[in-house]
Structure 1
């Protein structure tokens, strides 16, 4: 099978509010894309030449720009970024919060079948164009909107609060202990974000006590048992990764070691949350489709959880990260608390999760999150993660979900074995 190399990429500063800066989507894309091209030492002239040879394409991940910025046709929008993109094949891919991952998947497919040698994958979302209530309604369209989103304030906090309830019920967990575990997840992600110079919350204050004090003035409840500290951020941002074929890597980067994508998994669960829970009643995992996507990635990479040195997961809420711990295979299902309480998932543990800060700490521009995770896997393996670098990381894994764990994507990135 054709190897797929990650050459590098770029992420915008997730702390920025582009509307307040008076900058639009074109400014966001221009800055991010050319930062990525500079990172991999490709010029506008290289893009033009590769396009003449029909060897380059662009894949855009975005969830719902039609609502947030009144703009569709996002692949073609890149022609407004720079004339060097005139004629370059480009299209938009969407799978709710996993939009970035489905764009990566499409790009990988085109490299595997040798259609293109170089693929730019760009994920973005501008979310600070509306207030939180309106934005919550937009995000509700990642669920079955007519039944789970319409007329409901902040539908997704409520759905993932139900996941918290179902975890307690399915595994007969002590509620107080479980909520302390969720608080620990929040605190870890906020703490990790302080190491990340591009994280949205790097200058925010959060300690263990505040994360535990739910329903307080500084940490109000948002949905069910979940409070503000349990939620990912509303974020403006973009991320780009540049993927290439083995042939292109050997010609232009022959003297450099570059990480490769070793495996992937993609599974889709029932869209309605009630059906997910009902269909999983007699299964070990509360999210069996998520688990299967991860198993598929392990099998394709011919690796196990023992081989993975660092994880990036979709902590849209603390309850989603809690469930992911067993899906990764770090613990048995129902025993996730062990990995939290014994420090395994901390940045200095043996199975660190979200050293970047994750969606809670780093930020969650919905269409960009899958690409941002892939970029962070690349950084860990290339030794470019700076203050949140995991020492001697050889293999890394990400889980990106869309909706209420409806679309599940997993990728494994690692060092090439010569």
Structure 2
């Protein structure tokens, strides 16, 4: 698999589009032209577009996002388009569909856009809309906030299986916000945290559900991200025209994509005797390693991993092989998040923000910037290979990408 990432863009995740009286149309009309300029391609060259989005119908009443994309960017009139939904992995599944189009030879240049408008409602309504990605009518039935409740169950299960020190979750959150403070597009870049904000102080860091506290949880975010993906033939001609060396262009060199039982309880029951808490997550990671021809995390220079909650990030660290099962907390305590394998230099979902349908696309965009040395204030020195790990639901859909130069 070799798909070239020619360029991309994201919106400022600190913005509240509803307060600006702007919506999905304006998200498309901002991020897509910026991505086209960054990739130095014309809309007329785009053969196919893929849109990632979870819940536009619930938040805005709008479906048919492929048509809305063309309404926002008239130069795309006539392009083939499809919308993809896989909860928080919607953007990554859109990326995979675009890659399949390019590899099949149907098209040579693909646009992938992820969008989500979520701050146009109150927090409770937003939580209910997002709960549609859980098993409706079967889980989190009594919870005020479905996803914190479900991931608190993950934390409880992990604690029973291995033991869980809350200090390790707090350290993960603190690192996320520290990284985000350097990111000019991060939702939390101007936030401040008094001493004690990442511990068990009920005033500074109140309990949300179970072991999870306020700063363990990703926030409601508005935002969009877009990338332009190209076949080897298109990329070669593009490089020739622009006097570029293809060796300096990011490529998607491997992927993993697996899906498990929709319900969290169903997944945990099936994995009760497995080596890993979420075998499908481990499988998607090892699939990506194998397809990219790398042995494991020692071949990576950074990871952009899914941390909708701190426990999600801790679990992901173990499943990508940075730490053994049950040892993710100690890995964090030993400085692993900033060591040989930097974790979420962007700030991740907790610090940068999590506009659900855009997250997988944003991860790819940031990974591509990192391996080409164009990530600016958040650049990891010498980065050449990165991995993105994007999760939809309670580890229901998992997509991993290896991005290299």
Scaled by the length of structure 1, what TM-score is found? 0.93
Does residue 414 in structure 1 map to residue 404 in structure 2? yes
Alignment of 1:126-141 (within 5 A): 126-141=117-132
Corresponding residue SS for 1:146: coil
Which residue of 269, 274, 298 corresponds with 1:283?
Answer: 274
Q: State whether residues 196 and 204 of structure 2, in contact with CA within 8 Å, keep that contact through their aligned partners in structure 1.
A: no
Instruction: Give the C-alpha shift of residue 213 in structure 1.
Output: 2.8
Q: Deviations over 1:90-144 (max 9, x none)?
A: 1101101000000000000000011111101000100001111111111111110
Does residue 47 in structure 1 map to residue 47 in structure 2? no
Alignment of 1:257-272 (within 5 A): 257-272=248-263
Does residue 313 in structure 1 map to residue 305 in structure 2? yes
Per the alignment, residue 90 of structure 1 pairs with 81
Q: State whether residues 259 and 382 of structure 1, in contact with CA within 8 Å, keep that contact through their aligned partners in structure 2.
A: yes
Per the alignment, residue 210 of structure 2 pairs with 224
Does residue 60 in structure 1 map to residue 51 in structure 2? yes
Alignment of 1:381-396 (within 5 A): 381-396=371-386
Alignment of 1:63-142 (within 5 A): 63-142=54-133
Q: State whether residues 169 and 329 of structure 2, in contact with CA within 8 Å, keep that contact through their aligned partners in structure 1.
A: no
Per the alignment, residue 239 of structure 2 pairs with 253
Corresponding residue SS for 2:26: helix
Does residue 295 in structure 1 map to residue 281 in structure 2? no
Which residue of 383, 393, 399 corresponds with 1:403?
Answer: 393
- 5+ residue gaps, structure 2: none
Q: State whether residues 267 and 292 of structure 1, in contact with CA within 8 Å, keep that contact through their aligned partners in structure 2.
A: yes
What CA distance in whole angstroms lies between the structure 2 residues aligned with 1:94 and 1:367?
Answer: 8
What CA distance in whole angstroms lies between the structure 2 residues aligned with 1:263 and 1:294?
Answer: 10
Does residue 233 in structure 1 map to residue 232 in structure 2? no
Distance 1:75 1:149, change over 3 A: farther
Q: Deviations over 1:124-166 (max 9, x none)?
A: 1000011111111111111101112556310100000111111
Instruction: Give the C-alpha shift of residue 310 in structure 1.
Output: 0.1
Instruction: Give the C-alpha shift of residue 206 in structure 1.
Output: 2.5
Aligned residues: 399
Q: State whether residues 187 and 208 of structure 1, in contact with CA within 8 Å, keep that contact through their aligned partners in structure 2.
A: no
What CA distance in whole angstroms lies between the structure 2 residues aligned with 1:150 and 1:131?
Answer: 20
Please identify, of 276-285 and 96-105, the stretch whose mean Cα deviation from structure 2 is larger. Answer: 276-285
Q: Deviations over 1:67-99 (max 9, x none)?
A: 001100111111211321211111101101000
Q: Deviations over 1:280-308 (max 9, x none)?
A: 11111111110110010001111121101
Alignment of 1:173-184 (within 5 A): 173=163, 175=164, 178-184=165-171
Q: State whether residues 32 and 73 of structure 2, in contact with CA within 8 Å, keep that contact through their aligned partners in structure 1.
A: no
What CA distance in whole angstroms lies between the structure 2 residues aligned with 1:198 and 1:208?
Answer: 25
Instruction: Give the C-alpha shift of residue 24 in structure 1.
Output: 2.1
Per the alignment, residue 378 of structure 1 pairs with 368
What CA distance in whole angstroms lies between the structure 1 residues aligned with 2:309 and 2:194?
Answer: 17
What CA distance in whole angstroms lies between the structure 2 residues aligned with 1:208 and 1:94?
Answer: 40
Does residue 38 in structure 1 map to residue 37 in structure 2? yes
Per the alignment, residue 351 of structure 1 pairs with 341
Scaled by the length of structure 2, what TM-score is found? 0.96
What CA distance in whole angstroms lies between the structure 2 residues aligned with 1:151 and 1:179?
Answer: 25
Per the alignment, residue 369 of structure 1 pairs with 359
- 5+ residue gaps, structure 1: none
Q: State whether residues 143 and 149 of structure 2, in contact with CA within 8 Å, keep that contact through their aligned partners in structure 1.
A: no
Q: State whether residues 168 and 330 of structure 2, in contact with CA within 8 Å, keep that contact through their aligned partners in structure 1.
A: no
What CA distance in whole angstroms lies between the structure 1 residues aligned with 2:140 and 2:225?
Answer: 28
What CA distance in whole angstroms lies between the structure 1 residues aligned with 2:51 and 2:303?
Answer: 24
Q: State whether residues 137 and 150 of structure 1, in contact with CA within 8 Å, keep that contact through their aligned partners in structure 2.
A: no
What CA distance in whole angstroms lies between the structure 2 residues aligned with 1:245 and 1:208?
Answer: 50
Distance 1:208 1:249, change over 3 A: farther
CA RMSD of aligned residues (A): 1.2
What CA distance in whole angstroms lies between the structure 1 residues aligned with 2:403 and 2:159?
Answer: 33
Does residue 205 in structure 1 map to residue 201 in structure 2? no
